[in-house]
Amino acid sequence: MNLKGVGKSIGKTIYRGIGRANSRIQSHRSLPVDILEDETSYLVVFDAPGAEPDDVQVRYLEGNVRIQIDRFRQFRDRYEMRFPGRGMTLGGEAELPSDAIVDPDAGTATITETGTLNVEIPKDPSADEIESPATELHDEQKTDVPAGDD
């Protein structure tokens, strides 16, 4: 092997190493996320590039929406993998506001054609019936209390 061949071999090894490192970093970094709210629900939007519905797991735990995406590389006839730079396991987490009262069992998750995962979680309608302690205290301060007999 000549010097030029050695240089190419070293270059390929370094190139593959960079791809593997990039893949590992993607696997350990949280996916970008937006949290939106309207009167009836929260919408949590994750970037989910290359994900299929069967690849996605969504969990809700104590105010946090957690996702995991296990992607797969498609076999490409006639092509050889030169740079494995995409992480195959991706994850993300979003914390809803601390005062959010939701019904996670009624939530839905949808993957769009543009590669986003939309997790919609309805607000719990029974939460409107529950008054917060601050509201109760405020109402008591407004109420005239009859003087007691001494």
Could you tell me which of 33, 32, 27 has the C-alpha nearest to residue 90? 27
Residue 9 lies in a domain: yes
pLDDT at 110: 94
Residue 148 lies in a domain: no
Tokens of 74: 């498609």
pLDDT at 148: 43
CA separation for the pair 124, 132 (Å, rounded): 15
Name the domain count of the chain: 1
Counting residues of the chain whose pLDDT is more than 70, the rounded percentage is 60
Residue 94 lies in domain: 3-77+84-135
Tokens of 35: 């949290």
CA separation for the pair 122, 29 (Å, rounded): 28
pLDDT at 126: 79
CATH label of the domain that carries residue 131? 2.60.40.790
pLDDT at 18: 60
Residue 111 lies in a domain: yes
pLDDT at 141: 34
Residue 11 lies in a domain: yes
Question: If you search the block for the tokens 């590039």, which residue do you land on?
Answer: 49
Question: If you search the block for the tokens 């490192």, which residue do you land on?
Answer: 21
Note down pLDDT in tens along the chain; length 150 residues: 676 666 666 766 665 666 555 445 545 568 899 999 999 999 999 998 888 899 899 999 999 999 999 877 677 788 876 666 566 788 999 999 999 999 999 999 999 999 899 999 999 987 655 444 443 333 333 333 334 444
